[in-house]
Structures are given as structure tokens and as C-alpha cells.
Amino acid sequence: MLSDILVYLAHSAAVVFGAVTALWAVSVAVKDASLVDIFWGFGFLLVGAVCLYLVPVKTPYLILLAAMPIIWGLRLTLYLAKRNLGHGEDKRYVNMRKRAAKKGMSEMAWRLRTLLSVYWGQGLLIMIVSAPVWVAMATGGLKPEIKTAETTGVFKGREMIWEPGLATNYNAIGLLATLGAILWLIGFLFESIGDAQLAAFLKKNKGYHGPADEKPVMDKGLWKYTRHPNYFGNACMWWGIWIVACAAPFGWATIVGPIIMTLLLTKVSGRDLLERDMGRRKNYQDYIERTSGFFPLPPKSKS
């Protein structure tokens, strides 16, 4: 079983790191390191697709497990590509490059550093977070049946066999998988609807040039109940995937995946990073005071 897990991990990692390295080469050619942001969801799509390709028998359980990161990754990739492409390199990477230049680092040296720290770093995070997928896909397929001398007429005692023609489904879509899939669906709706509502709001207010403190704040729809419905939805999806993975042997041990994703969304590159700048605006400060920062809750009434 351990060897199966290592095979799924090795194949998935080879594809993810190969793809992210190729993307880095493109980013060097077009001088846009922020292409890596678009790859985030696509990396998980690759893990799900590789694992689904590797399983010898594609049972409903395994198809469900692979479909969740594939569907999420495809939607997020298309959304980020539409939003980011054609707008030049993101200011975060521009500032990083400028700071490196002040320290005497050439642009090519900085681009090479992005391969090691940004691109391969993201590849590593993808493999850690997606652990519920490649572990459960490796262990949640078929189980050996037991044949006895009475049933075969050739074996003495009891002997374990592993034959696709005789093996049975180890994990049908049971209670855990159903609960996990429901949580994933709730998260998917939160993220996709939240992103759509925000995109419409930004388009409507694209021409605003007034004072920063009076700049409109998105506080309608799902954004009325949480300041980050997209991040909340993302976390729900990965906890849902983990619950589905718990139906397979050792799936429970991959809890580090949703934990890391939740920390990224709330403490590292998600909510806290975004609100460092936005929180300086008075309108946004008022929004913070009345609106939950992550879990959807009824807004606080204005005093």
C-alpha cells in the first residue's frame, strides 16, 4: 500500500513540477512572474487528472475524489486567467524585482530565484495540500478478497489475492464521501458566486476616481455575511475533499492538506495580506467592524 502511495505521489509531483517549470520558462520570456498565480488551481487539476489516470479501476468513489480538484482547478484557472492576463506583471512581483535590483541582483538572477522560491515553492504547496487526493486515490480503489480451500479447491488454508476480476469495490460512495461532497459543493458555490459578485462590482465601479476613504466597498450578496466568501468557500472545498478521502485507508492522515490551505487563506497570502492595505480605508474599516472576517455570519447592526 505504501508503494502505491509513493507511485501516485511521484507521478503527480513529476507532472506538477514539470508543468510549473515550463511555465517559469514562459514567464521569463514574457517578463511576467505573476503567471504562477494562474497556475495555482491548474496544479490541483493536474494532480486529480494524473491520479485518475493511474487507478486501474475507475470506481464512482475514485471518480468523485478526482473530479472535485479537477472541477475546482478548472474554474479557478479560467477565472484568474480572464482577470489577470493582459494586465502586465502583478505589482507584488514588480516590487520584489525592484528590491532585488537595489541589492545588486540582475533581472535574470531574480527570475532564476523565482523558479526556486516562487514556482517550485508553489509546486511543493500543491503537493502538500493535495495529499488527500493522491493518498486516497492510491489506497481507495480495490481490496483483496479472501479465498478458502472450500471455495477454490486448490488453496490450503486462507490466502490473500489481488485480482481486478475478483476484487470488490473498497469504498463505494458512502456516508463520509457524501458528507464531504456536500461540503465541497457548498464551498464551490461560495467561491464561484463570490467571485462573480466581486467581478461585477469591480466592473461597475471601475471608473471611480474619488477619495480613497469614500471608495465603494463590496458588501452585497455573500459579501454581506463574510468579507471573504471566496476564501471561505475554498477552505470548505478542501475540508470536503479531506472528508471524502477519510473513507479510504490513511485518508485521515492527510489532514495537513486542508490545515495548510486554511492557513494560507487566512494568515499568509489570503485575507490578512489583502486587508493590510484595504484596512486603511475608512469605508473598509467600517465594513470590517460589521462583517465577519471568514465564517458567514449575520452582519452586525450599526450602533
- The tens place of each residue's pLDDT in the chain, 303 residues long, gives 788 899 999 999 999 999 999 999 999 999 899 899 999 999 999 999 999 999 988 899 999 999 999 999 999 999 999 988 888 888 888 888 888 888 888 888 888 989 999 999 999 999 999 999 999 999 987 554 433 333 333 333 444 343 443 334 455 788 999 999 999 999 999 999 999 999 999 888 776 666 766 778 888 999 999 999 999 999 999 999 999 999 998 999 999 999 999 999 988 876 766 777 776 777 788 888 899 989 999 988 765
**What's the number of CA atoms in the CB half-sphere (13 Å) around residue 173?**
14
Alpha carbon distance 274, 270 (integer Å): 6
Q: Give the C-alpha distances (Å, rounded to integers) separating 298 from 58, 225, 265, 282.
A: 43, 6, 21, 21
Alpha carbon distance 289, 302 (integer Å): 9
Positive or negative, the Cα torsion across 73, 231, 185, 178? positive
Alpha carbon distance 94, 127 (integer Å): 27
- pLDDT on residue 92: 82
Q: Please state the domain extents for the chain.
A: 1-144, 173-303
Q: What is the DSSP code (8-state) at residue 267?
A: I
**Bridge partners for 160 per DSSP:** 146
At residue 225's C-alpha, the angle toward residues 295 and 82, to 5°, is 90
Q: What is the DSSP code (8-state) at residue 130?
A: T
Alpha carbon distance 278, 275 (integer Å): 5
**pTM given for the model:** 0.86
- pLDDT on residue 163: 41
Q: Phi, psi at residue 271, to the nearest 5°?
A: -55, -55
- pLDDT on residue 297: 94
User: Quick one: CA torsion of 44, 81, 234, 245, rounded to 10 degrees?
Assistant: -20
- Rg value, the chain, Cα: 23
Alpha carbon distance 170, 62 (integer Å): 10
- Reading phi first (left if > 0) and then psi (alpha if -120 to 50, else beta), residue 101 is in alpha
